[in-house]
Amino acid sequence: MLTFTLRRLLLAIPTLFVISLVIFLLVDLAPGSPMSEIPLTVPPEVRKKMIEALGADQPVMVRYVLWLRQFFWVEPATLFDGWFGTNLAGGEQRILSWQSRAPVFTIIGQRIPQTLTVIGTAYLVGVLIALPIGIYSAYRQYSLFDQLGTLFAMIGFSVPTFFSGTLIIIIFAVTLGWFPTKYDTNLAVTDWPSFLQQLRQMAMPVMTLGLANAAVISRYMRSSMLDNMTMDYVRTARAKGMSERVVVLKHVLRNSMIPVVTVIALGIPSIFGGAIITENLFGVNGIGAALIGAIHASDLPMVQTLAFIFAVLIVTFNLIADVLYGLLDPRIRYD
């Protein structure tokens, strides 16, 4: 297992470099300019100095190498300096947003708590709902519960989040008045009433995303459970006199989790990436909203950095899923 992990880590390095180059070039060659919103009345020499100040006048490969160095050295060194009071970064220029002129990672650090709170909770709720539904639906195949679980999954699959989110706002915020229509990003949880207010404003975006996440995972869980329920080892376990609880929850569930782990692990990067539609619908000032704002403003450093962070997370959690395979199923060995 250790050899496999090290081999995958070494393979991930060139993979990430290729991904970074593709992302940088695609975003850089896209239409748009950091100066597109500057009034035409600004003198050309001033406009030129503004472009030079942003570093946008450099050749594309020079900017790519500089961006890589800032991403992998300057930003981690700056974070380390902030934690331990060292001077590893040496005051070198960080990745700056063309829109706000602030460091990109500072903006991400300000936005990520909102995204993790709302989107992370929604994903966790979706997983906790999906697993029991998938397990019991497979155990009671074609029962009323299974039919209702299938209906629940089909609704989650087929209804887009912008529609379900709007419907939830109309029902629970406008008609019933149970929850606020917009998420208050300035709310500070300091006591019990503010905590309850935080739960109230999180309820609708969590419902919207939890439905979509639970629909996908529950179907994978049910399908995987059904595949394993007919295996020889299940009949052998029952023939030995094991209870149904032990057979299903100990033997069948463990082997059934292998494909589900992949789905769950690959869905975790979406937590950090935010749900663009849902965040904009409910006014959550998270990473998804930051990405949309950066795209509208042609803020190339912000878009490139966020896209590459998502790629790093996907590669990382792919590796984590592969390692978990060997822990869940003793038959799988990589070395």
**Per-domain residue ranges for the chain?**
2-84, 111-328
pLDDT of residue 222: 92
CB distance 313 to 14 below 8 Å: no
- CATH superfamily for 111-328 is MetI-like (1.10.3720.10)
Cα distances (angstroms) measured from residue 213 to each of 38, 41, 208, 238, 289: 42, 50, 9, 33, 20
pLDDT of residue 129: 92
Task: Map tokens 């974070």 to a residue.
Answer: 79
CA–CA dist 59, 67 (Å, integer) = 12
Closest CA to 220 of 310, 147, 157, 144: 157
CB distance 271 to 124 below 8 Å: no
Closest CA to 269 of 282, 281, 287: 287
What's the pTM value of the predicted model, to 2 decimals? 0.79
Angle at 284 between CA 280 and CA 286, to 5 degrees: 95
DSSP collapsed to 3 states, 128-170: HHHHHHHHHHHHCCCCHHHHHHHHHHHHHHHCCHHHHHHHHHH
pLDDT of residue 54: 60
pLDDT of residue 1: 65
Going from the first residue of the chain to its last (335 residues), give the mean pLDDT of each consecutive group of 10, the final group possibly shorter. 76 88 83 60 68 68 86 87 81 80 87 85 90 90 90 86 88 88 81 87 88 89 89 86 85 84 82 73 83 82 88 84 71 57
